[in-house]
Structure 1
């Protein structure tokens, strides 16, 4: 299997996640923050990719994974997925146009208190959809190849 090291690293990253952790914004965030770097990178990048592939940036933020947006931007840049990092950065700025500090932003996302995300604001939804299309059509940055290369160099 081509992505064996990625699958293995992801499995190691989630082994300590349980229902209780996933129900607590700070517990979940700190769990991910304190993972070994390779596991954190794989976890945040794979989560983003799954969410975008399944329902786009709106789904990523709606399903509380957007609380990891700022961390994921750093991790995308770390694996040299700079165009995907830029797209996530743009999406995050669209959602967080009030420029809440990261901690407040995380809590608002986690608790589904961003009304324009929860209520499917049309303008925001359309703008995020445009970013989804760019993400889907980005052939120059294969996320799995970049993760593979990162893991190969950081074992």
Structure 2
């Protein structure tokens, strides 16, 4: 694993390890409880890479509202724990704040999944136009203060003891 670049290592874990488990076990991505269960049953380092990977992809392609609108937000609370686990404190703060806007009643489990998958966000227009956009901008500026790829690759290497 030390011969792989950080990016190649993350891509391998995301595409080959997590991706294979997803392909083997999920045929219906609208079965959100099963999808979440499959990911949460993965080895911790693999699940961490998967959840942070999908968060980052959604953020880069459309921000927090896309993350939630595309139902990847079902993993938001686990992703918070992932950020904490790898030491991505700034990313943690952004997602935590976003969750406060999207889920102010602090729903969990099945009720939270319904909130995300059925887009039951309160004050939707205000979220899109201001609060989540501000958080998106903070995320886009993170590379100056937090190298998420490096933190994630270091975490993977540490877990593999290499």
TM-score for the superposition, normalised by structure 2: 0.87
Q: Deviations over 1:62-104 (max 9, x none)?
A: 0000000000000011010011011101001100012222431
Q: Deviations over 1:20-70 (max 9, x none)?
A: 242201110000100001110100001000000100000000000000000
Contact 1:25 1:107 in 2 (8 A): no
Contact 2:45 2:156 in 1 (8 A): yes
Matched, 1:114 2:120: yes
SS of the aligned residue for 1:127 comes to helix
Unaligned runs of 5+ residues in structure 1 are none
How do 1:34-49 residues align onto structure 2 when only pairs under 5 Å count? 34-49=41-56
Match of 2:39 in 1: 32
Task: Indicate how the Cα distance of structure 1 residues 49 and 149 shifts in structure 2: closer, same or farther if over 3 A, else same.
Answer: same
How far does residue 135 in structure 1 lie from its aligned partner after superposition? Answer: 0.5
Equivalent residue pairs, number? 151
Alpha-carbon distance between aligned partners in 2 of 1:142 and 1:113, rounded to the nearest angstrom: 31
Matched, 1:72 2:79: yes
Report runs of 4+ in structure 1 exceeding 4 Å deviation: none
Unaligned runs of 5+ residues in structure 2 are none
Alpha-carbon distance between aligned partners in 2 of 1:16 and 1:24, rounded to the nearest angstrom: 16
TM-score for the superposition, normalised by structure 1: 0.91
How do 1:138-153 residues align onto structure 2 when only pairs under 5 Å count? 138=142, 139-153=144-158
- Greater Cα shift, 75-84 or 16-25: 16-25
Alpha-carbon distance between aligned partners in 2 of 1:96 and 1:14, rounded to the nearest angstrom: 29
Match of 1:132 in 2: 136
Alpha-carbon distance between aligned partners in 2 of 1:41 and 1:100, rounded to the nearest angstrom: 22
